[in-house]
Amino acid sequence: MNASLFLDICRDAGIDFYTGVPDSLLKGLCDELFDRYGTDSDTHVVAHNEGGAIALCAGHYLATGRPALCYMQNSGIGNAVNPLVSLMDPEVYNIPCLLVIGWRGEPGVKDEPQHVKQGKITLAQLELLGIPYRIVSADTTDREFLGCFHDLQQEIGKGKTAALVFRKGALVSERTPSYGNGYSMSRETALEIIIASSGGKDVFVCTTGKLSREVFEMREKRHEDHARDFLTVGSMGHASMIALRIAVEKNDRRIWCLDGDGAALMHLGALPVIGRRHPRNLIHVIMNNGSHETVGGMPVCSGSLNIPALAQAAGYARVLSADSENSLVSVLGQATDGQGPVLIEVRCACGSRSDLGRPTTTPEMNRDALMSFIL
């Protein structure tokens, strides 16, 4: 299914507002939306998380009487369950919406460990929630798709939320938008500087996506083991809470949380929790490239958000920012004196190596190695 044609079909059906969180399987749709409407317009908004996107859809319907479209990776169903059940459901407000879901971890299709369980239960989740759905594959014809869409339109007309579940390769686009920013330092270079500045007892909790993959390869390059790194391969946005509790329990060690701007925005309430608990040994690094780079590069929803000011207001003891190799070296010298929690915003470029690999160890191996290192 061509994403441009899909959006035309939605428009003709009266769907004129789009929101969600980007997904690599939906990159064609995201690229098309970015090219047509940008990311923060009256027609398209990139949300902070999938639950917030559902709430935007509810607001749109209440204000216009027209259903909206919400796109997400199937992992995002977890964030969306509460508003789907307690807000949108026919037994509550009966507010219709069209979900567009990328099916990561589909049974029989090789994928990363964090997607396997979610892939197995995706359809069952929709059934449990009472959400009618249709599956779209790469070989689904336009005529077949129109039939599926018509079926779901009937359900939406009754006030229901309905879902199109897209398999890998089922949604494509000819658009190739240029995602980027004005910063020159790569994330990988920043990570190299940070790891080089750390001590032998330091522990790193790394956010999901390419950052964790880069840290893994960096250890290989340095001929080091992976025992000091927890690679949070799933649960986007929760690395800082994992790091907080490790920091509290292991107050004789320096704990680093290597976070992403999209991940931090997804669960921004973590900042005041960290600020109130005030762990002196926690350094929270947010790699800010302004994009959901791991899943295609679409800009995040931060707008003009001042991350350092937000952390300061949340109670962090020290807040620093760097946008070059020299400035990063300088702020790291200030951050490692034990006067935490410290937040470091690292403004870096979009993009990664085309040959970036994936961890060769399993999540359980990662867990066991880390626990042997810190216990």
What would the mean pLDDT of 198-207 be, rounded to a whole number?
96
Task: Identify the sign of the CA torsion 315, 304, 180, 8.
Answer: positive
Answer yes or no: do 23 and 150 share one domain.
yes
- Residue 172 counted as domain residue: no
Band of the pLDDT at 190, cuts 50, 70, 90?
very high
What would the mean pLDDT of 96-111 be, rounded to a whole number?
96
CA separation, residue 256 to residues 172, 194, 220, 245 (Å): 38, 10, 19, 12
- Residue 180 counted as domain residue: no
Q: Report whether 334 contacts 320 (CB < 8 A).
A: yes
Provide the strand spans (E) within 76-189: 97-102, 133-136, 161-166
Which of 95-99, 243-247, 262-266 has the lowest average pLDDT? 262-266
pTM of the model: 0.93
Answer yes or no: do 200 and 330 share one domain.
yes
Higher pLDDT, 274 or 296: 274
Q: Is the model's pLDDT at 215 over the cut of 90?
A: yes
- Residue 176 counted as domain residue: no
Answer yes or no: do 64 and 161 share one domain.
yes
Q: Report whether 185 contacts 349 (CB < 8 A).
A: yes
The percent helix, strand, coil of the chain (3-state, each to 5) is 45, 20, 40
Residue 306 sits in a domain whose CATH number is 3.40.50.970
Mean pLDDT of the chain: 94
pLDDT per residue as tens digits for the range 146-159: 999 999 999 999 99
Q: Report whether 260 contacts 212 (CB < 8 A).
A: no
Residue 304 is predicted with a pLDDT of 66
Answer yes or no: do 95 and 24 share one domain.
yes
Answer yes or no: do 195 and 129 share one domain.
no
Answer yes or no: do 152 and 53 share one domain.
yes
Answer yes or no: do 150 and 244 share one domain.
no
**CB under 8 Å to 288, separation ≥6 — which residues?**
261, 302, 307, 345, 346, 347, 348
Band of the pLDDT at 292, cuts 50, 70, 90?
confident
Band of the pLDDT at 312, cuts 50, 70, 90?
very high
Residue 373 is predicted with a pLDDT of 97
What would the mean pLDDT of 290-305 be, rounded to a whole number?
79
Answer yes or no: do 105 and 202 share one domain.
no
- Residue 35 counted as domain residue: yes
Q: Is the model's pLDDT at 319 over the cut of 90?
A: yes
pLDDT per residue as tens digits for the range 30-82: 999 999 998 878 999 999 999 999 999 999 999 999 999 999 999 999 999 99
Helix 210-221 × helix 187-196 angle, to 10°? 50
Range of the domain at 119: 3-166
Residue 295 is predicted with a pLDDT of 83
- Residue 175 counted as domain residue: no
Q: Is the model's pLDDT at 303 over the cut of 90?
A: no
Residue 337 is predicted with a pLDDT of 83
- Residue 181 counted as domain residue: no
Q: Is the model's pLDDT at 302 over the cut of 70?
A: no
In the chain, how many domains are there?
2
